[in-house]
Structure 1
Amino acid sequence: MDDSTLSRLLREFGLSDKEIDIYLTVLDHGEAKASVVADDAGVSKRYVYSVSEELEERGFVSVNDHAVPTTIRAVPPQEVVDSLTEDVERMGPALEARYSKATPETNQFEVIKSRVTVLKRVTALVREATEEVSLSIPYDHLSEVESELRDAVERGVLVLLVVTGTDPADDLALDGVATVARAWREQTPTMITADRTRSLVAPPQMIARSNSGERAIAFTQRQLAPVLIGSFFGNYWPMAEEVYVADAHDLPETYADFRQAVLQATLHLRAGAEPTATVRGRALNADDGPGEISGRVVAVRQGLVEPANNSFPVEAALVVETGAGRYSVGGDGAFVEDYEAETVVLDLPE
């Protein structure tokens, strides 16, 4: 290995160019006086002393300052390599543990030219969802994703479905295909957002005809997904007619998806129950607000099921009566409520 390669590798372990020069000079001598190292490395003796102390702390050399004059001895290279290897091996699990805590988000845009590919992507998004799916799809193509929708509902995913190009009065047999389903006679874009991050939108003509020349767009970006969700709830969900609502969940249950928590609280309230909520999150109007609130759910604001009582399309909120007062609670990105929830535990008092 030539000197330039060796220097580059030592630099990767955090040594500066001057530290490398001094260390390699010490290696050449095995052991030498500070003055000799200074002359060979082209630096002052005082600098040699300073750098040698740092190299000693890192296990590259040992400084014999009990002798007169002071000498600097190179630690046997194998011991240095063993020490560096041990440090790297110890670092590995810690790096891996931190890496596994978060999945990196990609800001990916893709233009899709094929109807078949669009439907495959819709199927994959439903299959991979863990919390929430909002989907608008022609009823004639529902069968291509029906199995994945049923599986998603079974594993607790909130599935909000609009089937288009069909009469709401027909027997659509949507039991178990969604958490809440609506139908609309009009043909609308096929759109899906999964877990508030991954989205796809395709024009109606692309799904209706295989050779339409239209293009779909798929993207993975948390900042843009709310735009598509807002369009779904603002333009299509209110226009479609509610045709199916699943039964309320058995409680207690913990929800990371806030819309699911609002829906379940709504269904229990309408059944005459008085659910309680324990909400972890943060107060929006006070820097020192509570990290958790708990109390009885006294009201909801929502447009997920009829009759809707929200004041704007994407509004979903709980009103929780606690011992310290009444809080309005919103989900991720809440801005009009008192409290932003991270998780909600719903329960029924005994």
Structure 2
Amino acid sequence: MDDTALRRILQQFGLSDKEIDTYLTLLEHGEAKASTVADAAGVSKRYVYSISEKLEDRGFVSVNDHVVPTTIRANPPEEVIASLTDDIETMRPALEERYSHAAPETERFEVIKSRVTVLKRIRSLIEDAEEEVTLSIPKDNLDEVADSLRAAVDRGVLVLLVVADPDGTADLPLDGVASVVRAWTEPMPTMLTTDQRVGLVAPTEMIIRSNSGARAIAFTEPRLGPVIVGSFLGNYWPMAEEVYVAEPVTLPETYTNFRQTVFQATLHLRADTPLRARIRGRRTRGGETEDELVGRVVDVRQGLTEPANNAFPVENTLVVETDDGLVTVGGGGAFIEDFEAESVTLDVLDEAIDEE
């Protein structure tokens, strides 16, 4: 290693140019008086004393001030290396902790060129879903993702599925494949979102033909996910025909996905199940602190399953009868409702609940 490379490395350890000059001079002399080092390094004797204290603190040199005149000795290189190594290892836990918190996210946008890769990615994203999946896919490709969809439903994920099928879906095994399945007789892009933050969009021809030359876009973007879901529910979902609806789950259940809450409440109310809701969240007007709401669910506004009764495609609302009167409840970001829910526990209402 030449002097230039050595100086560059010493700079990386925090030594200034004059500190490096002083240290290299001491290495060449082994041990020397401050005046000798000052003359050789081209600095003042006072500066040598000042720098020597700093170099001693770093483990580079030892200052012998028990003799007159004071001498400065360069520590053996193996001791210096050992000291620097210890310093680096000491940093490791703190660096690793900070790195885990600030690790780069998955690339936000990715172009996918292969049909096989698109279908593999769809399965992978569905398998990672925790709360919600929205998916549109051609009928002929449903079998390729059906097992992943059924597993998602089994673990409590809300799955809203549109099958693009010009010929109808009578011959498709739909049981358990989704929470709600709709069929549309027009071609449509393959659109997937999971948990409203990751997903992909692929042109129809890319999925139905292996060498179409079309490209899909995968995304990891919390701000884009709700836009794709809004397009799915607003533009495609109302146009498709409902062909399957799952049975309601056994209660009690606690949900942080509000669409799943409204969907299950809808199914139970249609089955004449008296429902109680315990809701954590905050008032949408002047509610700065967390609050809790308990009452009977008397109505819903939704468009997830027919017949729809919401005023706009993404409206999902619980109407809850409380001791203070009727309260409307929406999900995250609610503004037209009275209450914004963070989590909801649905339970079968004991008629003696009025005593609570």
Return the offset for 1:251. Answer: 5.3
Return the offset for 1:181. Answer: 1.9
The 3-state SS of whatever aligns with 1:275 is strand
CA RMSD of aligned residues (A): 3.9
Match of 2:293 in 1: 295
Match of 1:197 in 2: 197
Q: Distance in 1 between matches of 2:150 and 2:53?
A: 67
Q: Distance in 1 between matches of 2:320 and 2:63?
A: 68
Gaps of 5+ in 1: none
Aligned ranges for residues 1-350 of structure 1 at < 5 Å?
A: 1-64=1-64, 69-101=69-101, 104-112=105-113, 114-166=114-166, 170=170, 172-210=172-210, 213=212, 215-222=214-221, 223-250=223-250, 255=255, 257-264=257-264, 266-267=266-267, 271-279=273-281, 289-290=288-289, 292-296=290-294, 302-316=302-316, 330-331=331-332, 344=343, 346=345, 348=347
> Aligned pair in 2 of structure 1 residues 40, 129: CA closer, same or farther (>3 Å)?
farther
Number of residue equivalences? 342
Which stretch of structure 1 is more off in the superposition, 181-190 or 90-99?
Answer: 90-99
CA contact (8 A) 1:295 1:321 kept: no
Q: Which amino acid aligns with 1:216?
A: R
CA contact (8 A) 1:269 1:275 kept: no
Identical aligned pairs, as a percentage? 60
Map Cα deviations across residues 31-78 of structure 1 (whole Å, 9 max, x no partner). Answer: 434443333333344444444443333333344556655544434433
Map Cα deviations across residues 71-102 of structure 1 (whole Å, 9 max, x no partner). Answer: 44434433332233233333333433443445
CA contact (8 A) 2:132 2:194 kept: yes
Q: Which amino acid aligns with 1:110?
A: V
Which stretch of structure 1 is more off in the superposition, 20-29 or 308-317?
Answer: 308-317
TM-score of the superposed pair, with normalisation by structure 1: 0.77
Q: Distance in 2 between matches of 1:118 and 1:12?
A: 45
CA contact (8 A) 1:329 1:340 kept: yes
The 3-state SS of whatever aligns with 2:275 is coil
Map Cα deviations across residues 5-36 of structure 1 (whole Å, 9 max, x no partner). Answer: 33233333333333333333333333434443
CA contact (8 A) 1:294 1:322 kept: no
Q: Distance in 2 between matches of 1:307 and 1:9?
A: 72
Largest Rg, 1 or 2: 2
Q: Which amino acid aligns with 2:276?
A: E
CA contact (8 A) 1:190 1:204 kept: yes
Gaps of 5+ in 2: 351-356
Q: Distance in 1 between matches of 2:322 and 2:49?
A: 66
Q: Distance in 2 between matches of 1:317 and 1:23?
A: 73
The 3-state SS of whatever aligns with 1:170 is coil
> Aligned pair in 2 of structure 1 residues 203, 20: CA closer, same or farther (>3 Å)?
same
Map Cα deviations across residues 238-258 of structure 1 (whole Å, 9 max, x no partner). Answer: 222333333444556555545
Return the offset for 1:152. Answer: 1.9
> Aligned pair in 2 of structure 1 residues 64, 149: CA closer, same or farther (>3 Å)?
same
Return the offset for 1:195. Answer: 3.4
Map Cα deviations across residues 177-228 of structure 1 (whole Å, 9 max, x no partner). Answer: 11222222222122212333333223334434455x3513222230433332
> Aligned pair in 2 of structure 1 residues 225, 42: CA closer, same or farther (>3 Å)?
farther
